[in-house]
Amino acid sequence: MSEIELIPVGTRILTDKDNIVDIIVKYAEQNAGPNDVVTVAESVVAITQGRLTRPEDLKVSFLARILCRFIPQEGSLSSCYGMQSAMDAEGQLRILFALLLGMVAKLFGKNGVFYQLAGEQAPLVDDVTGTMPPFDKCLVYGPFDPNGVAAEIKRRLGCYGAAVADVNDLKRAAVLGVSAGLDAQKLAHILIDNPFGNASQRTPIVIIKNYAQEEKRATGQA
């Protein structure tokens, strides 16, 4: 009986000259079968979509310089550039009110409210150092239309499904976009150990082998 197996797939360094779906077809087609799910790292999708900027190119507002001070320094929004990127993506007022409400919620012992209210891009901004060279000197936003990207990967590869995932070494995994019928939370659980590796490993694609059989078995259809 086949079990789930995670296969990282290496690529060359990808840039905004690349089409992520074409790249996945090129590097993963021979290993991805009809029972497999193909996942791709969200920051690489964003880079190929040109969703990145240099700190030097950002015009930082006074409000961003103040608000970043209230983010713990481990967070990407703790620099005024990370905060400005989030403001540019989600709007100044939204970030301001999310932060104020987040502070109030924290007083009552509830964490994470800021990121719940700040919009989907706020937690996805990667500050400088967040990605591998030559993008380590850039801020990278979250990808555009991750569900659409996943659907297109599935269509082109003919695999069981596809997903765009945000995973790190701190045991945090979120699946931002999936092709129809896939359970994002289940995929996040499978990817929790970060099979993409750290940035220098250049493996932005992970194939989840035998996912379909495992799902059928779990639902008693096998």
Partner 1 sequence: MEFLMIVIILALVVIIGVWLYIARQGDADFEFIVGQRTDFILEDLTDKTATFSCKVPFINKGSQGGTIMDAYPRHLLPHEQFDGVDVSSRMELSTAPRTDNYFESVIIPQGTGGTVIITVTFTAKAGGIREALGQMAELTVDMAIDIVYQIVARSLWYIHKARMVMTCDEIMRAMQAKGTAESEES
Residue 32 or residue 139: which is nearer to partner 1 going by CB?
139
Residue 183 · residue 131 · CB < 8 Å: no
Phi, psi angles (nearest 5°) of residue 206: -130, 125
Residue 66 or residue 218: which is nearer to partner 1 going by CB?
66
Residue 103 or residue 222: which is nearer to partner 1 going by CB?
103
Taking the complex as a whole, the smallest distance from the CB of residue 81 to partner 1 amounts, in Å, to 7
Taking the complex as a whole, the smallest distance from the CB of residue 59 to partner 1 amounts, in Å, to 11
Taking the complex as a whole, the smallest distance from the CB of residue 54 to partner 1 amounts, in Å, to 10
Could you give the CA distance from residue 8 to residue 54 in angstroms, rounded to a whole number?
29
Residue 110 · residue 104 · CB < 8 Å: no
Taking the complex as a whole, the smallest distance from the CB of residue 42 to partner 1 amounts, in Å, to 20
Taking the complex as a whole, the smallest distance from the CB of residue 103 to partner 1 amounts, in Å, to 12
Taking the complex as a whole, the smallest distance from the CB of residue 60 to partner 1 amounts, in Å, to 6
Helix (H) or strand (E) holding 83: helix 80-90
> What is the token pair recorded at 222?
């096998």
Of 21, 23, 25, 27, which Cα lies nearest the Cα of 8?
Answer: 27
Could you give the CA distance from residue 212 to residue 15 in angstroms, rounded to a whole number?
32
Residue 139 · residue 38 · CB < 8 Å: no
Residue 27 or residue 114: which is nearer to partner 1 going by CB?
114
Residue 137 · residue 54 · CB < 8 Å: yes
Residue 31 or residue 78: which is nearer to partner 1 going by CB?
78
Residue 137 or residue 155: which is nearer to partner 1 going by CB?
137
Residue 85 · residue 125 · CB < 8 Å: yes
Of 202, 191, 167, which Cα lies nearest the Cα of 10?
Answer: 202
Q: What is the contact surface with partner 1 in residues (CB under 8 A)?
A: 55-56, 60, 65-66, 68-69, 73, 78-81, 127-129, 133-134, 136-137
